[in-house]
A and B are shown apart, each in its own frame.
Chain A
């Protein structure tokens, strides 16, 4: 059967009762019916904000206006998967040092659930020396010597808290607003709401380092119920940046272009018949893939960066590292990519093995990220990009002030358990007040006692800086409007410049 016959057959198929009933069973009929009854967006994905935030499915990445004048145009989110210890980096607790090695009072343990702590753990003081830095006098440990030069550009949220104490649900909650699978990630929401400035690159790009993807898997940059065109595109910093972008053997670029055009013509006809928005997504993905053949390699090739930049970031072309990803993040920001998500794995310092001990693995992690992040901040600032780029750094939760005692025994290495009541996240640029510390934890860093910020509040604040009202950025799905912050979230107004 040649391609034209196939097309005819497809057309005929759509008109048979048997086919229709069969598709009804599989749910396609539902989609078809829904879309026949109105525009392709009326059945699902109708935005009910009345602010003209209606997506033309033919051009899903077209730049759209925000709800109000934005301070930031893009986000670089540095997620330290596994959750770094705030008590060894930013949240200095000298009083905890005095309690070091003493039994934890039962009042802190009653009614609490921990991932691993059993019985009565011992308190664990800060493991590294702290000092105040910069004009703002922010406390920082000696593990981040490079970043401590940048404190006056940073804003610390010291009393962050979350609802989940296991990696995957906490990462999902942070990135998608829900601990269960199936919700769109922050980057997807943002690209859905604002589109992208550069039509030759995906609007939402993901760079992963540290040897593993985060525990929650690729769902944390998935698009959930939004059209799949808004999901994050993962780029590798080693080898082909995006797999299968290069032309297969014996296939010229021109032929590839013709094939894609032909496939898209067929898809367009199919879309006119059925109206399933996913078809438009497929079309734009094909087009995007073709554009990316030239745009991605030129963006992802860091060889043309001057030597001093490589030195500053600590990058080596061809390597896969967090440093390379930071430099790539700056290049993507320059290109107008809307949401750049970096994941660095291996921060889960329980102390159960050398690689995950505060006195070994954690130190290596700090060394891996310290120089590149500082370089990224300075680099963005020099280029005038920090003004409208919001940089966010943080883990999915914090770590306990108690030393982990897996199975109730003291372990050989030093570590801390997961902790959801208090952790530190910092932001820089993008219209956030620089050089400020917001929020406070108690003497031992166990609870936030002032200006607590929930994960949903952080999401609301990030959207706010992009000019989006988190209560109005909605998507109609399963009969109700969904949003990133669900029914929560308050913009942290006090940290906005």
Chain B
């Protein structure tokens, strides 16, 4: 009985490489049944991993007196490992017939897998023959091969950068690896000169498709890592019909609904965004050319918008100050300020910058409040002191520490021309509200120093038209809102009844 089993195993090991080599030359399509069985390879591979590792662990544990009894079971577990390894090898071979995986990784995976099996068998034989040292050496060898096989299998499935993609740089340094490559998408500077495929389409494909359709892993016989792959196509024929997106498999697939069986990228992976799909369609419409520049093809308005967005990302809308690396405010100060009646929260999750407002009317800012507020001056991006009263003897000089402000509300306060000098250091200030204050033309010169100012509210102040005009001259982009509301509201006389029906 036992001899028979050995014989079968031996034949198995000997024959697999031959079968494999034959499979490479085989031109005929493997039958569906083989492929169907092959797809169970991922299911079964984890069994030998578990069993062989378990056998190894039990062997180690059994060295301790407390776990001596484990030794009895090692051979049984190891035998299970061998049995399932055989299954995994067979299924794996059948899976390789599909041709979806190719290249040296696959070869290594195969040979290392078989080595795992071979070493495990030798170890079991030695174990039964009671040769302790050699047995343990072969068992260890089997585990080492197993580790590498498993790793390569993972690479085949998920792509070779899968494991280390998110490895922190500190760990990389310890392992003597170069730091994580910063993903540099070539920033397009001159849109007209950009090559449609290389600069606009390829990045989309590389991010979303290439990981399953490359030289090593060729799902559906389709390669999208090289230009030839697009036209050659895959199982379902060419992926592109230049000029006809509606008939191009590539476009059809990405446009299917999220839960459709054939949608690409497959379920569970991030679907393409509307804009990405629009760009792909546009590229195919324009004959799917691989070398034309943007200037040489027709750019409809909706595509133009998407491209503009790519060239000048809207992020520029946000003040660069928010990207500054500063220490977040201390919890203690925040709590104290909240107890003092300020409303405080970060301007966005994970941002060290905070928004502070003092909305409780009738409570004056005293020395303590101003001092505590000063402790978070560096982190404050938006400060709302509208309607706030200062206690006697206090002044606005505390504002000069708030050098990162982008929005400042001082409406309805006692702020005077003399206080504006405290704002001159606010190089990031974009919004300044001074309505209903005593600010006059004297402040205009100092306000001109605020280079980034975009909106200023001067309604019900002493600032004259001339003052506003001279400010507008130096800041053409600045929106000055000072018109105010009509003091004598003119009611609109009721418009003539234009009802078509009323005429009848």
Give the bracket for the number of chain A residues in contact with chain B: 35 or more
Q: Are B501 and A146 in contact, with the CB atoms below 8 A?
A: no
Q: Among the interface residues B343, B349, B361, B489, which one has the most CB atoms of the partner chain A within 10 A?
A: B349
A363-B347 Cα distance, complex, nearest whole Å: 44
Q: Which of A142, A145, A383 contacts B435 (CB 8 A)?
A: A383
- For residue A198, which residues in chain B have a CB less than 8 angstroms away from its CB? 343, 359-360
- For residue B348, which residues in chain A have a CB less than 8 angstroms away from its CB? 65-70, 467
Q: Are A125 and B500 in contact, with the CB atoms below 8 A?
A: yes
> Could you pull out 15 A-B pairs where Cβ atoms are within 8 angstroms?
A52-B350, A62-B345, A65-B349, A69-B318, A70-B347, A145-B492, A199-B343, A200-B360, A298-B361, A308-B485, A311-B489, A359-B501, A363-B499, A382-B435, A497-B317
A51-B435 Cα distance, complex, nearest whole Å: 37
For residue B130, CB closer than 8 A to chain A, the reply is: no
- For residue B393, which residues in chain A have a CB less than 8 angstroms away from its CB? none
For residue A312, CB closer than 8 A to chain B, the reply is: yes
Given contacts A142-B495, A359-B501, A414-B501, contact A65 B489 (CB under 8 A): no
Give the bracket for the number of chain B residues in contact with chain A: 35 or more
Of all chain B residues, the one with the shortest Cβ separation from A50 is: B349
- For residue A497, which residues in chain B have a CB less than 8 angstroms away from its CB? 317
- Binary interface encoding of chain A residues 25-64 relative to chain B, with 1 for a CB under 8 A from any of its CBs, else 0: 0000000000000000000000000011100000000111
A30-B381 Cα distance, complex, nearest whole Å: 45
Q: Which of A197, A363, A383, A494 contacts B343 (CB 8 A)?
A: A197
Q: Are B345 and A146 in contact, with the CB atoms below 8 A?
A: no
A312-363 residues with Cβ-Cβ distance < 8 A to B are 312, 334-336, 358-359, 363
B348-399 residues with Cβ-Cβ distance < 8 A to A are 348-351, 355, 357, 359-361, 386
For residue B431, CB closer than 8 A to chain A, the reply is: yes
Q: Are A309 and B349 in contact, with the CB atoms below 8 A?
A: no
- Binary interface encoding of chain A residues 161-200 relative to chain B, with 1 for a CB under 8 A from any of its CBs, else 0: 0000000000000000000000000000000000101111
- Binary interface encoding of chain B residues 332-353 relative to chain A, with 1 for a CB under 8 A from any of its CBs, else 0: 0000001000011111111100
Known: A63-B343, A335-B359. 7 other contacts (CB 8 A): A51-B349, A53-B349, A63-B344, A65-B348, A70-B347, A312-B489, A383-B411
- For residue B344, which residues in chain A have a CB less than 8 angstroms away from its CB? 63
Q: Are A382 and B481 in contact, with the CB atoms below 8 A?
A: yes
- For residue B355, which residues in chain A have a CB less than 8 angstroms away from its CB? 63
Q: Are B455 and A146 in contact, with the CB atoms below 8 A?
A: no
Q: Among the interface residues A63, A126, A334, A378, which one has the most CB atoms of the partner chain B within 10 A?
A: A63
Q: How far is the CB of B36 from chain A (nearest CB, A)?
A: 34
- For residue A363, which residues in chain B have a CB less than 8 angstroms away from its CB? 499
Q: Which of A53, A128, A336, A387 contacts B357 (CB 8 A)?
A: A336
Q: Which residues of B are interface residues toward A (Cβ below 8 A)?
A: 305, 317-318, 322, 338, 343-351, 355, 357, 359-361, 386, 409, 411, 431, 433, 435, 455, 457, 459, 481, 483-489, 492, 495-496, 498-502
For residue A407, CB closer than 8 A to chain B, the reply is: no
Q: How far is the CB of B230 from chain A (nearest CB, A)?
A: 29
For residue A127, CB closer than 8 A to chain B, the reply is: yes
Given contacts A66-B348, A383-B435, contact A378 B485 (CB under 8 A): yes
Q: How far is the CB of B248 from chain A (nearest CB, A)?
A: 25
Q: Which residues of A are interface residues toward B (Cβ below 8 A)?
A: 51-53, 62-70, 100, 125-129, 142, 145-146, 195, 197-200, 298, 308-309, 311-312, 334-336, 358-359, 363, 378-379, 381-384, 387, 414, 467, 494, 497
Q: Are B500 and A336 in contact, with the CB atoms below 8 A?
A: no
Q: How far is the CB of B481 from chain A (nearest CB, A)?
A: 6
Q: Are A382 and B318 in contact, with the CB atoms below 8 A?
A: no
Of all chain B residues, the one with the shortest Cβ separation from A487 is: B258
Q: Are A308 and B501 in contact, with the CB atoms below 8 A?
A: no
Given contacts A63-B345, A67-B348, A127-B499, contact A387 B485 (CB under 8 A): no
Q: Which of B317, B349, B360 contacts A66 (CB 8 A)?
A: B349
Q: Which of B305, B347, B487, B499 contacts A128 (CB 8 A)?
A: B499
Given contacts A382-B481, A384-B435, contact A308 B489 (CB under 8 A): yes
Q: Are B495 and A65 in contact, with the CB atoms below 8 A?
A: no
Of all chain A residues, the one with the shortest Cβ separation from B454 is: A387
Q: Which of B481, B500, B501 contacts A384 (CB 8 A)?
A: B481
